[in-house]
């Protein structure tokens, strides 16, 4: 087998193809989002939302007296489902909540707040973080060109202390856990005083902050796209592996049931194709071995039949001529020969039932008459056998094989359960199937041995003696006869006691 045809190579190739497609999808995502960097993906949308909300809050606060600022912040907090607070450099605080602002949050806010506001038209843009949107190169070059003719005092007020840093921060505090975001805003404490810098604090109990801190939607979309690509890519590969395995599992289940007329067609050169060929080879070998074994048993039984018959006749004659003290020994020998003769007959019946299965012709037969024949054949004076079968029920089977199977079941029931109560033979028609049950009221069979009852030469431990047990071929013959009639057979213990063997055959109108 070539390495490229192996299943491992296919799965590995498919995995790398999946990675390539996912990488291509991410590249396309970043190409169409050229203005988004990693920091923007994690928090830029939140920053923009805080900045937009901050402008509305600044407008409302500048239009109202300071004593109403907590109410205004509370109104915005109710709308956006987060809390707001305004903190000045001198420590004045206006908030929509009663909780104290932690010391490290206050310290961080003061670091970003200037000690005095800038003058001129650049004031609001600087306070709201406008220069932060410029490119790095312009931030380093433009101030030198624009202000080269201004005095040192003017230059100091354009970018005073604290304005060279990012006017936005995020942090988390514990006990209790809170998430904080701060944005520098311009506010006027009253109409008589100039605008000064303040820090707008946004507070939330969650990491996302209702979209103010982190918006998971873009990442959810990207994740779903990646998963969709992976699912679409892997479904054909998974089906390429599981469908032939399912077919082979179904075939091996049939083989385990004794049906060797199974062929798997998998024209592949990987491990699954090799497995299919191995199963086909195993099936043909098992079929040949089983048929050869049964043919051998049939030949041996046939060859032993005539000598045993002559031996029985000779022993019968000998019994009449020996002296009284020797007759008991002769009877013991006759019993042994009779037991051996029954064993040979069972072997012959078992082998013929399977060997002739391919030539058996099935036809419509009346079930009740076959059951009555089997019951009359096995009935004794001390046994009560009840029949509950509609006379109109007909099945598609071989009369000879089905009668033999029913006879064996009734014989077993009489042998093992006649002393416990009556034996019942029941049949019901269910759509296109006929279900036949042979029930007794005996002790049943150990539950762990039920699956082995129909195997040749198997006998439960409780019946491994000459007086109560057979040779272990009765139920094997039943299974062979029923399957030759295109039916199924199973056994089960009844509750609280009893045993039932169920035969299912095709109904015939």
Which CATH number belongs to the domain containing residue 350 in this structure?
Answer: 1.10.287.130
Provide the CATH number for the domain around residue 375. 3.30.565.10
pLDDT tens across 130-154, in order? 544 443 333 333 344 334 444 443 3
pLDDT tens across 79-108, in order? 988 999 999 888 889 998 888 889 999 988
Q: How far apart are CA 494 and CA 180, in angstroms?
A: 71
Q: Name the band, by pLDDT with cuts 50, 70 and 90, for residue 383.
A: confident
Judgement on whether residues 57 and 188 belong to the same structural domain of the protein: yes
Q: What is residue 338's predicted lDDT score, i.e. its pLDDT?
A: 81
Cβ–Cβ < 8 Å for 207, 11? no
Judgement on whether residues 495 and 401 belong to the same structural domain of the protein: yes
Judgement on whether residues 291 and 267 belong to the same structural domain of the protein: yes
Asked if residue 276 belongs to a domain, the reply is yes
Choosing from 191, 215, 239, the residue where a domain stops is 215
Judgement on whether residues 313 and 369 belong to the same structural domain of the protein: no
Is 373 a residue whose pLDDT tops 80?
yes
pLDDT tens across 194-220, in order? 778 889 999 998 877 777 777 677 777
Summary mean pLDDT of the chain: 78
Cβ–Cβ < 8 Å for 127, 167? yes
Q: What is residue 234's predicted lDDT score, i.e. its pLDDT?
A: 84
Is 185 a residue whose pLDDT tops 60?
yes
For the beta carbon of residue 256, count every other beta carbon within 10 angstroms.
8
Q: What is residue 141's predicted lDDT score, i.e. its pLDDT?
A: 34
Q: State both tokens at 358.
A: 């391919």
Asked if residue 19 belongs to a domain, the reply is no
Is 156 a residue whose pLDDT tops 60?
no
Q: What is residue 193's predicted lDDT score, i.e. its pLDDT?
A: 64
Asked if residue 54 belongs to a domain, the reply is yes
Q: How far apart are CA 414 and CA 422, in angstroms?
A: 9
Residue spans of beta strands (DSSP E) within 431-498? 433-440, 488-493
Is 343 a residue whose pLDDT tops 90?
no
Choosing from 215, 241, 270, the residue where a domain stops is 215
Residue 165, domain extent: 44-215
Is 328 a residue whose pLDDT tops 70?
yes
Q: How far apart are CA 81 and CA 215, in angstroms?
A: 15
Asked if residue 80 belongs to a domain, the reply is yes
Q: State both tokens at 276.
A: 């299919």
Judgement on whether residues 206 and 302 belong to the same structural domain of the protein: no
Asked if residue 39 belongs to a domain, the reply is no
Q: How many domains does the chain have?
A: 3
Task: Enter the DSSP assignment of 101.
Answer: P
Mean pLDDT highest for which of 145-149, 164-168, 469-473? 469-473
Is 38 a residue whose pLDDT tops 60?
no
Judgement on whether residues 294 and 263 belong to the same structural domain of the protein: yes
Nearest to 132 by CA among 157, 164, 180: 164
Concatenated DSSP letters of 330-379 = HHHHHHHHHHHHHHHHHHHHHHHHHHTGGGPPPEEEEHHHHHHHHHHHH-
Nearest to 205 by CA among 180, 183, 169, 182: 180
Asked if residue 3 belongs to a domain, the reply is no
Judgement on whether residues 370 and 485 belong to the same structural domain of the protein: yes
Q: What is residue 350's predicted lDDT score, i.e. its pLDDT?
A: 67
Cβ–Cβ < 8 Å for 94, 86? yes
Q: Provide the H-helix boundaries in 136-270.
A: 136-146, 152-158, 217-256
Mean pLDDT of 388-400: 92
Beta bridge partners of 297: none
Q: What is residue 140's predicted lDDT score, i.e. its pLDDT?
A: 37
Q: What is residue 63's predicted lDDT score, i.e. its pLDDT?
A: 86
Choosing from 355, 373, 389, the residue where a domain stops is 355
CB proximity list for 160: less than 8 A, separation 6 or greater: 114, 115, 116, 117, 118
Judgement on whether residues 250 and 342 belong to the same structural domain of the protein: yes
Cβ–Cβ < 8 Å for 354, 308? no
Judgement on whether residues 383 and 396 belong to the same structural domain of the protein: yes
Q: What is residue 215's predicted lDDT score, i.e. its pLDDT?
A: 67
Judgement on whether residues 173 and 49 belong to the same structural domain of the protein: yes
Full-prediction pTM beyond 0.85? Answer: no
Is 268 a residue whose pLDDT tops 70?
yes
Which strand (E) or helix (H) includes residue 85?
strand 83-88
Asked if residue 265 belongs to a domain, the reply is yes
Asked if residue 30 belongs to a domain, the reply is no
Chain centroid to Cα 282, Å, comes to 30
CA dihedral 263→264→266→269, nearest 10 degrees, is: -80
Judgement on whether residues 386 and 493 belong to the same structural domain of the protein: yes
Judgement on whether residues 377 and 269 belong to the same structural domain of the protein: no
């Amino acid at each position: 087998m070539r390495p490229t045809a192996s299943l491992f190579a296919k799965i590995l190739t498919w995995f790398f193809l999946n990675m390539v497609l996912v990488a291509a999808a991410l590249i396309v995502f970043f190409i169409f989002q050229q203005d988004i960097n990693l920091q923007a993906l994690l928090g830029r949308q939140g920053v923009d939302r805080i900045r937009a909300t901050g402008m509305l809050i600044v407008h409302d606060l500048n239009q109202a007296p300071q004593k109403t600022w907590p109410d205004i912040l509370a109104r915005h907090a109710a709308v956006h489902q987060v809390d707001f607070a305004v903190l000045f450099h001198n420590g004045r605080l206006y908030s929509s909540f009663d909780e104290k602002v932690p010391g490290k949050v206050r310290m961080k806010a003061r670091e970003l707040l200037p000690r005095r506001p800038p003058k001129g038209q650049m004031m609001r843009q600087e306070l709201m973080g406008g220069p932060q949107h410029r490119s790095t190169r312009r931030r380093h070059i433009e101030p030198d060109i624009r202000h080269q003719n201004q005095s040192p005092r003017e230059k100091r007020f354009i970018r005073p202390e604290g304005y060279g840093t990012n006017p936005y921060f995020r942090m988390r505090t514990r006990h209790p856990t809170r998430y904080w975001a701060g944005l520098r805003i311009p506010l006027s404490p009253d109409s008589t005083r100039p605008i000064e810098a303040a820090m707008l604090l946004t507070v939330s109990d969650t990491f996302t902050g209702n979209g103010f801190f982190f918006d998971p939607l873009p990442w959810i979309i990207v994740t779903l796209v990646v998963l969709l690509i992976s699912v679409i890519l892997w479904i054909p590969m998974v089906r390429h592996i599981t469908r032939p395995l399912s077919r082979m599992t179904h075939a091996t289940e049939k083989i385990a049931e004794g049906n060797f007329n199974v062929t798997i067609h998998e024209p592949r050169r990987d491990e699954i194709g090799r497995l299919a060929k191995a199963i086909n080879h195993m099936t043909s070998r098992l079929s040949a071995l089983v048929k050869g074994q049964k043919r051998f048993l049939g030949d041996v039984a046939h060859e032993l039949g005539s000598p045993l018959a002559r031996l029985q006749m000779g022993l019968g004659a000998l019994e009449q001529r020996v002296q009284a003290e020797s007759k008991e020994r002769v009877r013991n020998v006759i019993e042994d020969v009779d037991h051996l003769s029954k064993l040979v007959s069972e072997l012959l019946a078992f082998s013929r039932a399977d060997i002739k299965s391919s030539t058996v012709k099935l036809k419509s037969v009346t079930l009740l008459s076959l059951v009555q024949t089997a019951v009359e054949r096995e009935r004794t004076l001390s046994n009560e056998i009840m029949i509950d079968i509609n006379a109109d029920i007909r099945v598609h089977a071989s009369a000879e094989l089905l009668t033999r199977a029913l006879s064996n079941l009734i014989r077993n029931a009489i042998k093992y359960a006649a002393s416990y109560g009556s034996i019942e033979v029941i049949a019901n028609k269910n759509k296109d199937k006929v279900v036949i049950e042979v029930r007794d009221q005996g002790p049943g069979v150990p539950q762990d041995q039920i699956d082995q009852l129909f195997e040749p030469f198997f006998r439960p431990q409780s019946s491994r003696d000459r007086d109560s047990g057979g040779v272990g071929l009765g139920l094997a013959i039943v299974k062979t006869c029923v399957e030759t009639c295109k039916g199924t057979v199973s056994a089960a213990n009844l509750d609280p006691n009893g045993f039932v063997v169920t035969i299912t055959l095709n109904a015939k109108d």
